Amino acid sequence: MPTEAAALLSRAIHFKGSAIPVVVRFSNFAGLPSVADNDAMSNPRGMSIKFLLPDGGDTDIVAHSYNGFPVATPEDFVKFLRALGSPDPAEIQRFLHTHPAAQAFAAAPNLAPHSYARESYFGVNAFRFTSEAGVSHYGRYRIEPVAGTAYYTAAQAAGNPPDYLAQEFQHRLKLEPARFRLMVQIARPGDSTTDGTVIWPDDRVMVHAGTFTLNRIAPDGAARQRSMLFTPLSLVGGISPSADPMLVARNRAYRVSYARRHAPGAEGGDK
């Protein structure tokens, strides 16, 4: 449900009027389907949102639970992944030493949330929000759990079952909806709008743009999961991309990933 402040920030169709249905996918690191909820590699968690618009179209937000990203450019992301995958452990050490944002990402505490509904999510890359009056602001999405964040200690987390987040969420929704606030952090002049590794200070204005109320799990499980594609550049008028080069690269990569998932011969793909 959008707020009045949302309508002042952007003329986007889902930023004004009445409630709009959404479909949300929560995920573990990078959306890898086989990573267990209790795996040390499962952070950051993902939250992808698809707004089903009244005109029959849709628009997405793809966010994760780390405020920032290890690299600023697609070229560096390729280098980072190659270093991570290298059999020589010195490779990743070299990369981390020369890339402070990647160092900070690697050193971040590996927090296990009590629930997908007790975690915050960050859109990382900036967008340009334009109002009906033609006024534009750069902003970054932030999605805050209304119930607040809560994390297990490392010792507690070690006892969690592999699918503890999925189980918890199913149980939670039988009792009450999960609610999140959609916030847009507004850039001040001088804040980088092209580098997701540069975190804007917390004193920046936060516009409360709306509230998500999640009340049921989609019934058609795995088949529906495979058929869903969320991309950061699935946009509508009133919200446009910043010049952050990651946005275009992300958009392409997500589409390639989707196409491979549906390629003939892919596991569960089209025949």
Task: Determine if 227 is a binding residue for ligand HEM (CB under 6 A).
Answer: no
Position 242 contacts ligand HEM (CB under 6 A): no
- A 10 A CB-CB count for 5 gives 14
Residue carrying structure tokens 């949300």: 24
Q: Answer yes or no: are the C-beta atoms of 14 and 59 closer than 8 Å.
A: yes
Instruction: Provide, rounded to whole angstroms, the least separation between the CB of residue 70 and ligand HEM.
Output: 9
Phi, psi of 112 (to 5 degrees): -100, 110
For the purposes of burial, counting CB atoms within 10 Å of the CB of 147, is it exposed (0-12), middle (13-18) or buried (19 or more)? middle
Residue 65 CB, shortest distance to ligand HEM, in Å, is 9
Q: In the stretch 65-104, what mask flags binding to ligand HEM with x, by CB under 6 A?
A: ----x----x--x---------------------------
Q: Which stretch binds ligand HEM (CB under 6 A): 96-104, 106-114, 173-181, 248-256?
A: 248-256
C-alpha to C-alpha distance for 104 and 125, rounded to whole angstroms: 18
Q: Answer yes or no whether residue 64 interacts with ligand HEM by CB under 6 A.
A: yes
* Sign for the pseudo-dihedral over CA of 5, 7, 11, 13: positive
Options 1-9, 25-33, 92-100, 111-119: segment touching ligand HEM (CB under 6 A): 25-33
258 binds ligand HEM (CB under 6 A): yes
Binding mask 129-168 for ligand HEM (x = CB under 6 A): ----------------------------------------
β partners of residue 211: 181
Comparing CB distances to ligand HEM, the nearer of 86 and 257 is: 257
Residue with the CB atom nearest ligand HEM in the bound state: 46
Is 50 a residue that touches ligand HEM (CB under 6 A)? no
Rule CB under 6 A: choose which of 113, 139, 145, 196 binds ligand HEM: 196
Contact footprint for ligand HEM (CB under 6 A):
25, 27, 30-31, 46, 48, 62-64, 69, 74, 77, 123-125, 196, 229-230, 246, 249-250, 253-254, 257-258, 261
